[in-house]
Amino acid sequence: MFEGFKLNFIDVGPGKLRVRYGGAGRPLLLLHGHPRTHMTWGQVADILATQFTVVCPDLRGFGQSFQPKDAEGNVNSSKREKANDCVALMRYLGHSRFSVVGHDRGSYVAFRLAVDHPDAVEKAVVIDSVPIIEHLERTDWQFARDWYHWFFFAQSEKPERAINADPLAWYDKLSPSLMGQDAYQDVIAAVSDPSVVHGMIEDYRAGLTVDRRDEMETRASGQKILCPLLCLWSKKDDLIETVGDPLQIWKRWATDVHGFGIDSGHHVAEENPNDLAAALSRFLGSSKIMC
């Protein structure tokens, strides 16, 4: 994976992000979810590198990127601050305008990038997500049962204690046969590091505090994503059962929305990289949207 890519640690102001980048063509930023690192994109990045200049960072708080200092209201782990990191990273690499793809928690960063930095984002893709407040406003017994980790991770100290007691028991679905040995070893190192576990949990705490507030303010202001937006979902995951049609939800937040499901479980970049890469290439590589 990542054949011909460079690996570097790049200072984005508050700290350094670990990043791989390579390929040729229009710039494309790929943002991972929890508890992954940028390595989750390896197979997809290799396919897209023939068409795009692909940039894959570890988000702040994840992998080997910097750990932000704890702050009141979890502001240093907010999606807004992570989006600012991404803009600084892409500018450092010489890209003032780019497309962005986010999966899982990374999709919230992609969303915030498109809202806060419309001049920088050409197209955006969100995978397996809807805005946080859309989830919270639909919360019922089933969501509380199946997505309980959102609320457990919002508690202080106890989530870290539970995970650090036996990281591989908590993250028991990590598989080298699914993600590849290099990516597997990378994520095992991440979840085995208590400082990284704290950074990843802070991401969830921010979700229910500062990120929730930012989304409410965005909605109240009438601000929307102006660039073309593609929402993708894994057909074997439970997003539709949880919130309904993601496409209809995202149409409340963006002016130009397309979307469809992909035959995969939740970690689509690892489970079905070929279909995901094809969907991204078709959407991002054409001036006319074909979905």
Query: Which residue, 230, 227, 245, 236, is CA-closest to 279?
Result: 230
CB 100 within 8 A of CB 114: yes
Indicate whether 103 pLDDT > 80.
yes
What number is the average pLDDT over the span 76-99? Answer: 98
CB 91 within 8 A of CB 21: no
Indicate whether 108 pLDDT > 50.
yes
Q: What is the spatial distance between Cα 42 and Cα 26, in angstroms, rounded to a whole number?
A: 18
Q: What is the spatial distance between Cα 74 and Cα 61, in angstroms, rounded to a whole number?
A: 12
Indicate whether 288 pLDDT > 50.
no
pLDDT for the residue 171: 96
Indicate whether 110 pLDDT > 80.
yes
CB 19 within 8 A of CB 55: yes
Q: What is the spatial distance between Cα 242 and Cα 140, in angstroms, rounded to a whole number?
A: 9
What DSSP assignment string belongs to 218-236? HHHHT--B-S-EEEEEETT
pLDDT for the residue 291: 34
What number is the average pLDDT over the span 124-136? Answer: 97
| pLDDT tens-digit readout, 226-263 | 999 999 999 999 999 999 999 999 999 999 999 999 99
pLDDT band at 1 (very low <50, low <70, confident <90, very high): confident
- Percentage of the chain beyond pLDDT 90 is 95
**Is 245 annotated as catalytic?**
no
Q: What is the spatial distance between Cα 113 and Cα 271, in angstroms, rounded to a whole number?
A: 26
Give the start-to-end residue ranges of the domains of the chain. Answer: 6-284
Strand pairing category for 52-57 and 16-23: antiparallel
**Is 104 annotated as catalytic?**
yes
Tell me: cis bond preceding 194? Omega within 30 of 0 counts: no
Strands (E), 128-269: 229-234, 257-262
pLDDT for the residue 286: 64
Mean pLDDT of the chain: 95
What number is the average pLDDT over the span 89-104? Answer: 98
| pLDDT tens-digit readout, 3-43 | 999 999 999 999 999 999 999 999 999 999 999 999 999 99
Provide the CATH number for the domain formed by 6-284 in this structure. 3.40.50.1820
* CA angle (263 as vertex; 255, 32 as ends), nearest 5: 65
Q: What is the spatial distance between Cα 22 and Cα 220, in angstroms, rounded to a whole number?
A: 39
pLDDT band at 165 (very low <50, low <70, confident <90, very high): very high
pLDDT for the residue 285: 85
Give residues with Cβ within 8 angstroms of 138, minimum separation 6: 242, 243, 244
pLDDT for the residue 289: 39
What the block records as the tokens of 287 is: 């001036």
| pLDDT tens-digit readout, 177-186 | 989 999 999 9
Helices (H) and strands (E) in the chain, counts: 16, 8
Indicate whether 152 pLDDT > 60.
yes
User: Of 38, 95, 103, 266, which one is the catalytic site residue?
Assistant: 266
The H or E element containing residue 45 is: helix 42-48
Query: Which residue, 94, 114, 111, is CA-closest to 102?
Result: 111
User: Of 104, 128, 203, 214, which one is the catalytic site residue?
Assistant: 104
Token pair 């576990």 in the structure block, residue = 197
CB 199 within 8 A of CB 61: yes
